A and B are shown apart, each in its own frame.
Chain A
Amino acid sequence: MINKFLKGLTTAVALGAFAFAAVPAQADVLDDIKERGVLRVGVKADYKPYGFRDTSGAIIGIEPDLAQDVADKLGVAVEFIPVVSSNRMQFLEQGKVDLMIATMTDKPDRRKVVSIVDPNYYSSGTNILAAKSFGFTAWEDLRGKPVCGIQGAFYNKKTGRDFGANIVAFKGTAEAYAALQAGNCVGFVYDDSSIIASLAQPQWSDYEMPLPTIDDAPWGLAVKLGEEGFNTLMSEMIVEWHKSGRILELETKWGVENTPFATAMNAKYQ
């Protein structure tokens, strides 16, 4: 009995070692995707208009459209996996998604964890959504007041530490918007691009985006660390998107005014 167990254990260890040795030799996710016939893309599902759910529950938006372009190029089907800010890099690391296009700001420490593709495909800054009645004009006006946010967003630290706001962070945007409307916080610190889209909706007519936008920073889409082939392919795709005006076209399609970043990148690659 014990012998049998030991024998099994030895085989398992040997197999494990073999698997370990074998992985780096064929670690090209592109082959896996083509073999599987499905490209799994991590996108936001609560970030209108970049990635959100329509009335049927399907994920749509600018980033899902970009992901569809990638799938079309590879000649495979696309599967959208909803991610949030606090788990998106882990999903990529663990191989739950092949590609992540999830409104992620490009930061040096993130480049150590995932492979962010150059050039950047988009850009946005930070602002707040607040009731007009408060009449905020400067970030310092938030000192000592509760400000809603999203758990895991990088600007929470800055808003809290540099401007003295008490960050009240929730898991998703739906909870943050609900808390803002209920009066649990005076404003909602978030990406300006998304706030602009919210302000277009009638239920936010008494609200404004009153502060100067800070931290205008580029967004990076990412593949798993070490996937050089996929990274190169995505890099070419991004250049193509900028060159052909695809990003500008998608902004118009989803009701966002053309951003200075997208316009500049379009001009640069002409």
Chain B
Amino acid sequence: MEAIYEWFRLLYDNTGINLPFIYDSYDRGRMISGFFMTVKLSVLCLVLSVIIGMAGAWLQNSPLKWTRRIVNGYIQLFRNTPPLVQLYFFYFAIGTMLPKVTNDWGGQEPILGGFAWAVISLSFFAGAYNVEIFRSGLEAVPDSTVEAAEALGFSRFHIYKDITLPLAIRVALPALNNNLVNLVKTTTLAYAIAVPEMLYEANQIWSDNVNVTEMMVFMLLVYFVLVGVLVWGMNRWERALKIPGFGA
């Protein structure tokens, strides 16, 4: 390992291509923790936003008028405002209004930190889109299928869980795929509220080392690979779920 680090140090000395996140142990630590922060943030937001999407699509068809109105209000609010504004709003506006807790060193700190707000904000942001994506899937399920289930005595929840949602997911997957890819890319915005994800760490490294070009190229490649892994996984899932003769 030491030889590899040394090689990159020599690369800098000889060519001027400066990759300190490989040869400098402190910068390397920052980059690795930034990478895992991005992965953690992405996975949490992906899971939560899909759950929000499924729950929202269920509530959107609720027989209760006010439930439907609240879900639609939520969608409008989160879909029609920029995610960066939402992050600032949660962190600086809502965050300071919530009760504070005493931390280990006797100070008063807000009950939720930057990471928690990033997860909440980004999940609800992507969740709003997911509700509409699942709705598009649900509307593609033929009425006759639902009527047949009703005739067999299935409850509304049972129909949703076992019949309409599984079919809807298959229809909605390409659109869901798109939105989740966008979500992973949107996690970079969390750097605005000082969540130490990858772009945040890269920004600090290029400021310390004045190697903007190298860091930009590296960032582009890492996100390309990261999102590529997600797309690959989603495509596999799409193929695995495929029902011969349905939707084709």
Binding site for B on A (CB under 8 A): 85-86, 89-90, 109-110, 112-113, 131, 133-134, 145, 148, 151-154, 156-157, 161, 167-171, 175, 178-179, 182-184, 186
Contact = CB atoms under 8 A, between A and B. Distances in A.
Contacts of B203: 86, 151-152
Contact of A151 (B95, B109, B110, B200): B200
A182 B95 contact: yes
A171 B192 contact: yes
Contacts, number: 69
Main secondary structure of the interface of B (DSSP, over half): helix
B229 to A, nearest CB: 28
Main secondary structure of the interface of A (DSSP, over half): mixed
A157 B204 contact: yes
A167 B192 CA distance: 14
Contacts of A156: 204, 208
A134 B207 contact: no
Contacts of B114: 168, 184
B210 A112 contact: yes
B209 interface: yes
A86 B207 contact: yes
Contacts of A145: 105
Nearest to B203: A151
B92 A175 contact: yes
Contacts of A183: 100, 107-110
A262 B192 CA distance: 36
A184 B203 CA distance: 21
Contacts of A85: 207
Interface string B24-58: 00100000000000000000000000000000000
B166 to A, nearest CB: 43
A85 B204 CA distance: 10
